Amino acid sequence: MTDGCWYDADIDRVIITEAQIREKTAELAKQVSADYASVEDGLLLVCVLKGAVMFMADFARALGRHGPAAELEFMAVSSYGQGTTSSGVVRILKDLDRDIAGRHVIVVEDIVDSGLTLSWLLRYLASRKATSVEVVTLLRKPEAVKVSIPVKYVGFDIPNEFVVGYGLDFAERYRELPYVGVLKPEVYARP
Ligand SMILES: O=P(O)(O)OC[C@H]1O[C@H](OP(=O)(O)OP(=O)(O)O)[C@H](O)[C@@H]1O
Ligand code: HPA
Ligand SMILES: [Mg+2]
């Protein structure tokens, strides 16, 4: 584990450490940089709030070491609410502020779980006429997928368990943990 965090006592076990996240983020940024080296008008990174906030910040900085130039955009969508399973209904809480037509877009996600959020989002972005849309996600749960989606850049495949930390929440908590872990069962039983 790391030096010690406020929420450590609620964590059953760590799945991905802070150091692993750092190393993988640098690796993903290098791949993206190489694949998009020739784009002239730069990349548009679209962060899917709130979960992807930490990964977006670190990925954008890692990409900044290599280029190409990237503009940072934010959307907020939600389908999990207070629970640990997707409602299946993706709600837009904040839309894009600008036109993405003609741009090379990379959607930055924290996790692909059922795939419902991304399948909806990719259809939405396609309707906004981006030149290309790819996805970079830190985590993916291959056993949980309900809709298969093309995700070009994946950090870690993880088991089909509900995880928290590094942006991922349970009932809006645990996002500020620097690692990704599984909660102790008793946490879910708390009122
Ligand atoms: O593949 P899926 O099953 O659709 O799950 C993935 C999505 O669920 C989470 O968002 P959530 O709806 O919890 O909103 P949040 O990011 O604000 O926590 C997560 O950040 C992804 O965006
Ligand atoms: O495992 C998860 N943890 C937190 N939020 C999530 N949203 C989809 N899957 C998850
Ligand atoms: Mg959530």
d(CA 39, CA 86): 36
Residues at CB less than 6 angstroms from ligand 1: 48, 50-51, 78-80, 86, 109-117, 169
For ligand 1, atom 11: residue with the closest CA: 78
CATH number of 18-161: 3.40.50.2020
Q: How far is the CA of 82 from the centre of ligand 3 (A)?
A: 8
**Every domain of the chain and the residues it spans:** 18-161
Q: Which residue has the tokens 């130039």?
A: 69
For ligand 2, atom 8: residue with the closest CA: 113
Q: What pLDDT sits at residue 84?
A: 87
Query: Among residues of the chain, what percentage have pLDDT more than 70?
Result: 99
Using the atom order of ligand 2, give the atom closest to the CA of residue 117: 8
- 58, 110, 113, 157: the active-site residue: 113
Instruction: Provide ipTM, 2 decimals.
Output: 0.98
d(CA 70, CA 41): 9
Q: How far is the CA of 13 from the centre of ligand 1 (A)?
A: 21
d(CA 19, CA 188): 28
Q: What is the pLDDT of residues 95-145, one digit of tens each?
A: 999 999 999 999 999 999 999 999 999 999 999 999 999 999 999 999 999
Kindly list the protein residues that place their beta carbon closer than 5 angstroms to ligand 3, a single-atom ion. Answer: 80, 169
d(CA 100, CA 82): 31
Q: What is the pLDDT of residues 157-169, one digit of tens each?
A: 999 999 999 999 9
- Residue 102's identity, in one-letter code, is G
Q: How far is the CA of 165 from the centre of ligand 3 (A)?
A: 11
d(CA 122, CA 7): 34
Higher pLDDT among residues 90 and 64, named by residue: 64
Q: What pLDDT sits at residue 88?
A: 82
DSSP the chain: --S--TTGGGEEEEEE-HHHHHHHHHHHHHHHHHHTTT-SS-EEEEEEETTTHHHHHHHHHHHHTT---EEEEEEEEES-TTSSS--S--EEEE--SS--TT-EEEEEEEEESSSHHHHHHHHHHHHTT-SEEEEEEEEE-GGG-SS----SEEEEE--SS-EEBTTB-BTTBSTT-SSEEEE-HHHHH--
Q: What is the pLDDT of residues 19-68, one digit of tens each?
A: 999 999 999 999 999 999 999 999 999 999 999 999 999 999 999 999 99
Q: Which ligand is nearest to the CA of 171?
A: 3
- Active-site annotation holds for 3: no
